[in-house]
Structure 1
C-alpha cells in the first residue's frame, strides 16, 4: 500500500498542532466516551472511536468495541482520512462500504483478518492552526451503506467530537478571563515607550505579565508557572493577585521605595501551601522603575530572561541568584539595582521565545542578539509576532519591552 502523501513541512506543522493539544496518552474521559457510545448505538455498528494520529502510530482516545489503543500508522485507514483533509478540504470524509473490495486497503491487517473491518467511515478532527490531527470513526465487520440521514448524523457526531477536542466552552471562557487579567491600558510613562504581548501556545497558559503605577514608580512583572493549560493558568492568576496585593499593601504603609525582596518573599510565603500541594513553582522577574530618574530595582526569582539593550547596542543581562518561588520554603530574595538611561531598552521575556529562536538546549545566547537586532519596543514585538505566526508555539511566548526615549 502506498502511504497517503503529506508534505514533510506540512506534517511537521500537523504534529506541532497535535502536540499543542496535550492530549496524547492521557486517561479516558467521559466526554469522549459519550460520543463513541452514542455512535455505536445510533448506527448499530460494533466499533467506534475517537483517535489521534501521531508520527508513527494511531492512538485511540476513546473506543467502543476495539480492544487496542495503539495501531501502527502504516496499518490504518485513518491516515488516508488525515491526508484527504489536506487534498480535499471541501469534502474530507472517507467512507469505505467494503474495504476488502478496495485494493488500497484490502491488505491492511485489520481488514484482511477474519472478522476484520469491512465498513469504515472516518471524519477528520482538527487542532490549532486548522491541521487535521485525528479522526472520528465508525467500523463494521460487514459491508454496509449510510443513507443521507445517517450521513448527516455522522457529521454531527464528528462536530461534537471536534468541540470536545477543543474543549471550547470551558477553555474559551477561561482564555477570555485570562486575557482580561492582562493590563488593558498603557500606563502613564512620560518619556518612555512600552509594548507587551503574550502569545499563548494553548487556549490558556502559565505565563503572565503585569505593569502598574505605585506613586513615582512603575512596577513590571513577568512570571512563568511550571506546566501548561488550565492548571497553570489557575496558579498564574493566584500569583498575579498576590503580587499586586502585597505591593499595594506595602505601599499603603508609606514605604518611600518599593522593597522588592520583601514583596517577593511575602508572595512566596502566601502561596507556599499552594505550591507544595500542587508540586509546582514559578519563575518571576519583578521590577520597580523610578520613572523620573530611570533607576531600576529588580528581583529575579529563577527567571533569567531579562536584559537591558543599551543605547550603544550592548546587552546587559539582569540576573541574580534568587530561586523560583515554591522551590525552597522560607527562601529570601534580594533586590538588585541598575538604571535605564536615555536610549536604553528593558526587555523581559519567557522561555517560549527560546524555543522559537532554536536556543532551548544551549542556553539563552540567541535572545540578547535578537533583542539587540530590534532596539525599539515596536520593532521587537513585531519580530516576535512574525516568529509566532510562522510556527505555532509549543510554549507561551511573553515579552515586555520598555525603552527610555533619547533626551
Structure 2
C-alpha cells in the first residue's frame, strides 16, 4: 500500500523513517555548520532562499532555512516529498530541478508555489541516513524562473555532498558521545563513611573533560582532567589520559611503597605523563589534571595538581579553602616530576574538583574565588551537582562542565 502523503509504499516509508530517527536531529536547534551551507548556496547561486530539511512522517522540518520564515510545513504540501521519492526511482539522477514549478501541474497547486513573491524555481537534492534511505533534502529556491547549467549542477551536487558529510558526522558524533558516556566510571555506592556525586556536561556532543573515581583497598581515588580543545579530537585524547592516570594509580597501589596514605598522587601524575608524552608531542596538545586519594579511616587527602587549579575543600562550618597546586599541565614540559600535597577531611567536610567550564558560568572573568562562593552555598555533593546542572539550563555552556564532590559523613 502506498501512502498518499509520502508517495512511497508503506514498508519503504517505515524503513525510511527508522533512518530519520537514527539521526536524532528532528526538533534540535539550528547549527552553524548547516547554516553556513545555506548561506553559501544563496551566495553561489544568487538565490534568495535555501534550506536543509528532514522529512518526518507528516511534515517537512527545517534544520536550516534562509529567506523563508518557516520551521516546518505539512508533508503533502511540499515539492521535497517528490525529491525523496525520486531518490528511490532514479538513484543515478536524484536531483529534482524545476525551472518554473508554477507551470508544472504536479506542483502548481502547492501553497507558496507561484503567485506574487511565491516560489517558481526549485532545485532539491536528497540526503541520506545511516542505512542509505533518503531522510531529507538540500534545496535552493527563487521567485523567478531560472535553470542550472551543467557546471552549476555540479556545484549544487557538491554542496549537497557537503551537507551529507555533516549529516554523517552527526551520526558519528552520536556514537562517539554514547561511547564517551559509557567510559565514565560507574557510580560508587559503597564508600564507607563517604558520599559522592558527579556530573560531566560536554559543551558539544563530545568533550575534552573527564572525571574518574575508583576504589583502593583502603580508600578512593578521584581525578578530573581537561584536555586542550573541544569536540571529538579532545575526547579521543581525554580517553587516553583517563586510562593512563588510572593505570598509573593501579600500578602504584600494587607495587608502590607508601608508609602513610593510600596513593602517592604526585607519582601517579608523573607516571601517567611519561606514558602520554609521545601523544601530547605528536598532537601538540596538553591537559590539566587534579588527582586526589582519600584514606577512608582518617580522612587524609593526598593530592597533586597539574596546572588545574580548581579544587577546594568546603568545611563543615561553610568555610571554603582552595587547594593550591603549582605543577605544570601534562604535556607541557617533558620529564616533569609532580609532587603531592596533603590535606584532611574532617566529618562534614567536602572535597570539590571542577573544570573551568563551571567557572565560566559562574564568573565572566573566570575568577577562581567565584568557585569558592558557589561551593560555600551547597553543603552536600548532590546539592552542588544539582546546582551546577541548573546553571546550564538557561545558558548552554561554551566549554565542558565537570564537577566531582565527595563528602565525609558527619558520623565517620
Preserved CA contact (<8 Å) 1:81 1:94: no
- Which residue of 167, 170, 173 corresponds with 2:169? 167
Match of 2:58 in 1: none
Deviates more, 1:135-144 or 1:178-187: 135-144
Preserved CA contact (<8 Å) 2:196 2:405: yes
Preserved CA contact (<8 Å) 1:311 1:342: yes
Deviating 4+ runs (over 6 angstroms) = 91-96, 98-103, 157-160
Q: Does 1:264 align with 2:269?
A: yes
Match of 2:88 in 1: none
Alignment of 1:165-204 (within 5 A): 165=167, 167-204=169-206
* Distance change (3 Å), C-alpha of 1:305 and 1:15: farther
Instruction: Pick the structure with greater CA Rg.
Output: 2
* Distance change (3 Å), C-alpha of 1:294 and 1:346: same
Match of 1:303 in 2: 308
Preserved CA contact (<8 Å) 2:209 2:227: yes
Kindly report the root-mean-square deviation, in angstroms, between the aligned alpha carbons of the 2 structures: 3.9
* Distance change (3 Å), C-alpha of 1:177 and 1:224: same
Offset, 1:52: 1.4
Q: Does 1:366 align with 2:370?
A: yes
The CA distance in 2 between the partners of 1:166 and 1:388, in whole Å, is 27
Offset, 1:212: 0.7
Aligned length: 322
Offset, 1:330: 1.2
TM-score (norm 2): 0.67
Q: Secondary structure at the match of 1:246?
A: helix
Preserved CA contact (<8 Å) 1:304 1:319: yes
Deviates more, 1:310-319 or 1:250-259: 250-259
* Distance change (3 Å), C-alpha of 1:406 and 1:327: same
Deviates more, 1:179-188 or 1:324-333: 179-188
* Distance change (3 Å), C-alpha of 1:105 and 1:327: farther
Offset, 1:364: 2.5
* Distance change (3 Å), C-alpha of 1:81 and 1:239: closer
Preserved CA contact (<8 Å) 1:377 1:401: yes
TM-score (norm 1): 0.68
Offset, 1:266: 1.2
- Which residue of 115, 118, 121 corresponds with 1:119? 121
The CA distance in 2 between the partners of 1:176 and 1:324, in whole Å, is 28
Alignment of 1:33-182 (within 5 A): 51-52=34-35, 59-60=39-40, 68=44, 76-78=48-50, 81=65, 88=72, 97=101, 119-120=121-122, 136-139=138-141, 143=145, 161=163, 164-165=166-167, 167-182=169-184
Preserved CA contact (<8 Å) 1:93 1:121: no
User: Gaps spanning 5+ residues in structure 2: where?
Assistant: 1-26, 52-63, 81-99, 103-111, 128-136, 148-158
